[in-house]
C-alpha cells in the first residue's frame, strides 16, 4: 500500500527517536507500505528539514539531504498531471492531497488531521497519525 508522509512526520522523526514518527520512518523500506513523493513535496522536505530550527540533533544539512536522497531512492516517484486546488485551507496541504490522489495512496500520515478534514469521504484517502498508522500495519502483520 502507498502512503504520503506529511513533512511534519520527518520533522518529528529527526528531532526524537522515541516517537511514532521515528518508528514509521525507521521501518523504511517496508514490505507493508511504500511512501510516495512528488517533486514539490521533495523540495518542501529539503526546505523545511534543513532549517536551523528543525536541525537540532538531526545532524548537518548535508546529512539531512543525503537522508532525503535515500528516501527518494526507495519511494514511489509520482508525477502529477492534474490539480485539485483549492480543496484544503493550505496550498501545501493541497500539494500533499494531490500526491495522494495521483499515487493512489490509502493514507496521509500527519500530525495535523484537522488540515485534511473531509478528504476520506471525497477521495477515499484516510488521514492518520503515525501512531494510528503503526497500529494499522501491526494488524496487517498479524
pTM of the model: 0.93
pLDDT at 128: 98
Q: Where are the domains of the chain?
A: 2-141
pLDDT in tens, 54-65: 876 667 899 999
Was domain 2-141 assigned CATH 2.130.10.10? no
Exposed e or buried b per residue across 57-87, where buried means at least 16 C-beta atoms within 10 angstroms of its C-beta: ebeeeeebeebbeebeeebbebebeeebeeb
| Digitized pLDDT (tens) for each residue of the chain, 142 residues in all | 999 999 999 999 988 889 999 999 999 999 999 999 999 999 999 999 999 888 766 678 999 999 999 999 999 999 998 766 677 877 788 999 999 999 999 999 999 999 999 899 999 999 999 999 999 999 988 7
Amino acid at each position: 500500500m502507498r502512503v504520503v508522509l506529511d513533512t511534519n512526520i520527518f520533522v518529528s522523526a529527526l528531532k526524537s527517536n522515541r516517537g511514532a514518527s521515528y518508528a514509521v520512518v525507521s521501518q523504511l523500506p517496508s514490505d507493508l507500505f511504500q511512501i510516495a513523493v512528488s517533486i514539490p513535496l521533495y523540495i518542501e522536505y529539503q526546505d523545511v528539514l534543513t532549517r536551523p530550527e528543525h536541525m537540532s540533533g538531526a545532524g548537518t544539512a548535508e546529512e539531512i539531504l543525503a537522508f532525503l536522497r535515500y528516501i527518494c531512492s526507495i519511494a514511489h516517484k509520482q508525477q502529477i498531471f492534474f490539480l485539485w486546488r483549492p480543496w484544503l485551507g493550505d496550498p501545501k496541504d493541497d500539494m500533499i492531497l494531490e500526491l495522494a490522489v495521483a499515487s493512489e495512496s490509502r493514507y496521509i500520515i500527519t500530525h495535523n488531521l484537522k488540515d485534511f478534514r473531509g478528504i476520506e469521504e471525497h477521495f477515499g484517502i484516510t488521514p492518520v497519525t503515525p501512531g494510528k498508522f503503526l497500529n494499522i500495519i501491526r494488524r496487517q502483520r498479524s
